[in-house]
Amino acid sequence: MKTLNEDIRDYLSPYEAHLTDKQREIIEAASRCRMSGIAFELIDMFSKPEVYTGMSFDQRIERCFERQLGVMSKARFTRLYRNSNLPRKVYLREIEPRPERGITSELLLALSEMNYLEKGTNIVFTGPVGVGKSTLAQAAATEAICHNHSVMYYRASELAMMLGAMNGADYLKFRDKLKSIKLLVLDDWGQQMLEDDVLLKLNEIAEARYRFCSTIVTAQVAREALGKVATPSTVLTALTDRLFRSSDIYVNITGSSLRGTPGEIRGER
Q: What is the pLDDT of residues 69-97, one digit of tens each?
A: 999 999 999 999 999 999 999 999 999 99
Residues 93, 70 share a domain: no
Residues 187, 61 share a domain: no
Q: What is the dihedral of CA 174, 175, 181, 183, to 10 degrees?
A: 110
Mean of the per-residue pLDDT values for the chain?
92
Residue 38 located in a structural domain: yes
Q: What is the pLDDT of residue 259?
A: 72
User: Could you tell me the residue range of the domain that residue 66 belongs to?
Assistant: 6-83
Q: What is the pLDDT of residue 269?
A: 40
SS3 category, 192: coil
* pTM of the predicted protein model: 0.83
Q: What is the pLDDT of residue 17?
A: 87
Amino acid, res. 193: M
SS3 category, 250: strand
Q: Which DSSP helix (H) or strand (E) runs through 35?
A: none
pLDDT band (50, 70, 90) for residue 264: low
> Which of 68, 83, 98 finishes a domain?
83
> Which of 83, 108, 140 finishes a domain?
83
**Number of other CB atoms surrounding residue 25 within 10 Å:** 11
Residues 169, 127 share a domain: yes
Residue 229 located in a structural domain: yes
**How many distinct structural domains can be found in the chain?**
2
> Which of 55, 83, 111 finishes a domain?
83
Residue 1 located in a structural domain: no
Residues 19, 70 share a domain: yes
- DSSP symbols for 139-186: HHHHHHHHTT--EEEEEHHHHHHHHHH--HHHHHHHHHHHHT-SEEEE
